[in-house]
Amino acid sequence: MRILLVVNLRSGQGDAGVYEYVRALVERGAEVTVRDLGRRDDTTIVLRDASEHDRVVAAGGDGTVSAVCYALANSGIPVLAYPAGTANVFALNMRMPADPEELAHITLAGRIRDIDLGELIYGPDEQRQGFIVAAGAGFDAAIMEAADRLKPTLGVAAYFVGALQNLTPTVSRFTLHIDGKTIHSEGIAVLVMNVARLQFDLALTHASDPADGRFEVVVVRTKNVPGLIPTVWGAFLDRFVANPDHTAGLEVHSAQEVLIEAEPDLALQYDGEVLSATTPLRARVLPGAARLLLP
């Protein structure tokens, strides 16, 4: 079996067992080609001959996984999301193991499932970007920007510190155009979610299924960080017992396509990566566009 391993060496805080993983594949008779994903712009280059391989492995954070999956959208090539980043939210939602031996087994004999991708359209030139976990505008983008420089030393705790550095986020008035319907709201952020769980394994929604052809559009209606405490605490409790009220402070809509407008404009992020643009932001579902290898 021929495997193309795309590695983002700048993700996470170490090699995440990648060398042990490659050795486990080779011991099982696989032929492995390893390439470094130096920049997002290099994705097309490193995947230039992906069709000549049986599997593609995206080793890095969620941004690396979404970049690879978006570049291979609807190609039918199975992709393994190797958790080598800081938060690895997609791998967490898919219950991927961290052990290199187990990941090697999944690569060669794992279950194949087609899941949805998201596509963002933003900026005056209508740039396009894929995402696999979530995209958003507002407070979440501020956290990602603050955490980016801290992740090499603090790991996932950098997101917590980033939140503390933004205790009084901008409150905006939102106009959401969802599948032909217009909704007005207000808050500190709007998230477009393809999966249910975010950092620290906290579920903002129960409904988010990455294979249902729809997003959950979540408006964070609080006006400051302390106002998020009941929501975060409810999501934490929901990990242990059913808690139907854990979405207090959130407004949730289901959508295939959404246009987010904000007044004032807000910064944007996708899968933990901050975009050099502000609202408006359009997001649409690409149903079943990614073929993933899962436990």
Each residue of 215-226: pLDDT tens digit? 999 999 887 766
Q: Is residue 293 part of a domain?
A: no
- Is 17 within the bounds of a domain? yes
- Report whether pLDDT(236) > 70: no
Distance CA 19, CA 216 (A): 37
DSSP 74: T
pLDDT in tens, 161-216: 777 777 788 999 999 999 999 999 999 999 999 998 876 566 667 667 899 999 99
* Type of residue numbered 115: I
Classify residue 262: in a domain, yes or no.
Answer: yes
Domain contains 291: no
Contacts for 90-98: CB closer than 8 Å, 24+ residues apart? 90/62, 90/65, 90/66, 90/132, 90/133, 90/195, 90/271, 91/65, 92/197, 92/201, 93/133, 93/195, 93/196, 93/197, 93/210, 94/292, 94/294, 94/295, 95/295, 96/294, 96/295, 97/295, 98/16, 98/17
Residue 23: inside a domain: yes
Mean pLDDT of the chain: 88
Is 90 exceeded by the pLDDT of residue 293? yes
Q: Which residue is listed with tokens 């990990």?
A: 239
Higher pLDDT: 209 or 109? It is: 109
Whether 79 and 202 share a structural domain: no
Establish if 104 belongs to a structural domain. Answer: yes
What is the C-alpha to C-alpha distance for residues 192 and 186, in angstroms, rounded to an integer? 15
The terminus-to-terminus CA distance of the chain in angstroms comes to: 18
Q: Tell me: do 282 and 147 sit in the same domain.
A: yes
Q: What gap in Å lies between CA 117 and CA 291, rounded to an integer?
A: 10
Q: Other C-beta atoms within 10 Å of 207: how many?
A: 11
More confident site: 85 or 256: 256
Examine the domain organization and report whether 66 and 151 are in the same domain: no
CATH number of the structural domain spanning residue 151 = 2.60.200.40
The tokens describing 175, both together, are 């106009």
Which SS3 state, helix, strand or coil, does residue 91 take? helix
Give me the mean pLDDT over the 236-262 stretch: 73
Structural domain span for residue 177: 118-286
Domain end among 55, 76, 109: 109
The domain boundary, picked from 109, 141, 158, lies at 109
- Whether cis (ω within 30° of 0) applies to the bond prior to 264 is yes
The pLDDT of 77-94, averaged and rounded, is: 94
CA dihedral 1, 104, 4, 132 (to 10 degrees): 130
In this prediction, residue 240 carries a pLDDT of: 44
Query: What is the CATH number for 8?
Result: 3.40.50.10330
In this prediction the pTM is 0.88
Is the pLDDT confidence value at 228 over 70?
Answer: no
Q: Please check whether residue 98 lies inside any domain of the structure.
A: yes
Please tell me the total count of domains within the chain: 2
What CA–CA distance (Å, rounded) separates 159 from 86? 10
Q: What span, in angstroms and rounded, lies between the C-alpha atoms of 53 and 37?
A: 17
- Of 65, 90, 109, which one is at a domain's C-terminal end? 109
* Contacts for 126 with CB less than 8 Å, ≥ 6 apart: none
Q: Tell me how far apart the alpha carbons of residues 120 and 127 are, in angstroms, rounded to a whole number.
A: 8
Q: What is the mean pLDDT of residues 127-152?
A: 88
Is 294 domain-assigned?
no
Residue 241 has pLDDT above 50, yes or no: no
State whether the Cα torsion 192-195-197-198 is positive or negative: negative
Residue with tokens 């409810």: 234
Q: Are residues 221 and 263 in the same domain?
A: yes
